[in-house]
């Protein structure tokens, strides 16, 4: 495992992202997405766990009792060829260990499933140190709005064509933490530790309002 030039700082926040090598799709079907989501929960553990030890029983991954977590996860979004995570460095080396385990475990699964070899991700994961409150708050919207690109790729440049349709699409997109912020109870909510992040959205309505304002921002600028 290579050492990063700039080490992560405990109790600081980071935007982590990476994509498939040559922009290839890293999530092909529901099984792939669900595997990665379960890994976000199981791998975030100071104990070294083999996912294969718990995957034989349906649902067992979500009831698995972890020891101490390596990082705090505030938001996530999986897209066909990349992913975004909002993390807090909880302990020294936590983010690096977590991402190394996550990418290794998922790559082994994906390559075996698809009978391929070689790297799955485009180099080391990318990280952005979040240094102010405004940037941190913005990332909760930025990360959760990514799926809109799947129905209107140019929405940031041209404005949203269908506001209600876009909001409906987000409410049906299962592979981000958007649903967890609008208070839908599901297993994937266990991935998050929202209490480790500032309380920007004390209610689901405040979160929805923030998302709506970002969706309509460019349209209002037209």
Q: Pairing relation of β-strands 82-89 and 71-79?
A: antiparallel
State how far the Cα of 204 lies from the Cα of 185, in Å rounded to an integer. 12
* Residue range 141-158, pLDDT digits in tens: 999 999 999 999 999 888
State how far the Cα of 58 lies from the Cα of 207, in Å rounded to an integer. 32
| Higher-confidence position of 61 and 221 | 61
* Residue range 81-95, pLDDT digits in tens: 999 999 999 999 999
Q: What pLDDT is stored for residue 57 in this prediction?
A: 59
Walk me through the domains of the chain, giving residue ranges and CATH numbers.
13-221 (3.30.70.1290)
* Residue range 9-49, pLDDT digits in tens: 999 999 999 999 999 999 999 999 999 999 999 999 998 87
Q: What is the mean pLDDT of the chain?
A: 91
- Of 135, 198, 195, 174, the closest CA to residue 182 belongs to 174
Q: What pLDDT is stored for residue 220 in this prediction?
A: 46
Assign 185 a pLDDT band (cuts: 50, 70, 90).
confident
Average pLDDT of 207-218? 89
Long-range CB contact pairs, 28-33, < 8 A, 24+? 28/80, 28/114, 32/110, 32/113, 33/78, 33/174, 33/175
């Amino acid at each position: 495992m290579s050492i990063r030039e700039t080490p992560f700082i405990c109790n600081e926040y980071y935007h982590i992202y990476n994509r498939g090598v040559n922009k290839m799709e890293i999530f092909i079907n529901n099984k792939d997405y669900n595997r990665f989501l379960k890994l976000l929960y199981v791998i975030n553990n100071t104990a070294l766990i083999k996912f294969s030890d718990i995957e034989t029983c349906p649902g067992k991954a979500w009831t698995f009792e972890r020891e101490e977590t390596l990082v705090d996860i505030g938001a996530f979004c999986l897209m066909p060829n990349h992913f975004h995570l909002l993390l807090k460095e909880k302990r020294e080396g936590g983010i690096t260990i977590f991402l190394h385990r996550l990418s290794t475990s998922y790559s082994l699964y994906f390559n075996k499933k698809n009978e391929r070899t070689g790297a799955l991700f485009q180099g080391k994961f990318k990280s952005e140190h979040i240094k102010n409150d405004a940037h941190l708050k913005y990332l909760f919207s930025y990360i959760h709005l990514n799926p809109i690109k799947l129905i209107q790729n140019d929405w940031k440049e041209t404005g949203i064509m269908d506001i209600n349709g876009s909001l409906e699409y987000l409410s049906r997109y299962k592979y981000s933490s958007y649903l967890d912020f609008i208070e839908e109870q599901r297993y994937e909510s266990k991935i998050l530790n929202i209490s480790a992040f500032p309380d920007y959205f004390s209610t689901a309505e405040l979160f929805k309002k923030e998302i709506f304002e970002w969706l309509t921002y460019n349209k209002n600028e037209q």
